[in-house]
Amino acid sequence: MDLFQIFFDASPSSISITNISDKNYENVNPAFCEFHDKPSSQFIARQSLGMSEKFDTNVFKDTVEALLLGQSITEQRVQIYDAGNSLRTLRTVPRLIAYEDGPRLLLISTDITSELELQKNNGILRATLESMHHGVSLYDEDMVLVLSNNRFLDLLDFPREMGRANIPFEDFMRFNAERGEYGPGNVEELGNCLLYKYDAADEEDSREQGG
């Protein structure tokens, strides 16, 4: 079995190969069948959902024409209903494959619906945070910044670049120590001392709460 066949069979993305001349599917992978909840036998040698004029989903007609003219198309976003009649957004990479009797259209489609919904929700969360008058910062269990708003940075006079995710809490303490917030002394020692006191206080709070 060649590498392409291994990728074709194992890929979580939906993959189809269509004969451009008759617009019939020549092959579809298991992920494609799972998305449509139909066996491959219901697709092979039948009209392509993405190319045939018989379907209102023939969104790749112009794509094929562009590829045949030598134009480069990195990816497309298309919307299609899955087997459960749920509208999904797919990120599709189209490519032409050369065969002796003519080119075939290879489509590799990844469902990005959940990813887009997460981006939308993150956008709503970000807008909510930035509309607050209070400074907000959230850290994970390793004391690494998960999110913050600009008000938090402004109130404590931190630079904007320190508001991005994955900044360790100790970096904020070191920044304050470097600008003299904790008095004179070795910056690393001051920062570590305060971090130790913070950890000890947090541990004490956990014991009092039965944690």
pLDDT value for 190: 61
pTM value > 0.85 = no
Write out the chain's pLDDT in tens, 211 residues: 588 889 999 999 999 999 999 989 999 999 999 999 999 999 999 998 877 665 555 678 788 888 988 888 888 898 888 888 899 999 999 999 999 999 999 999 999 999 999 999 989 989 999 999 999 999 998 889 999 999 999 999 999 999 999 999 888 888 888 887 766 766 566 656 666 556 544 544 444 444 4
Which one, of 41, 45, 23, lies nearest residue 33 by Cα? Answer: 41
Helices (H) and strands (E) in the chain, counts: 7, 7
Task: Give the whole-angstrom CA distance, residue 22 versus residue 205.
Answer: 71
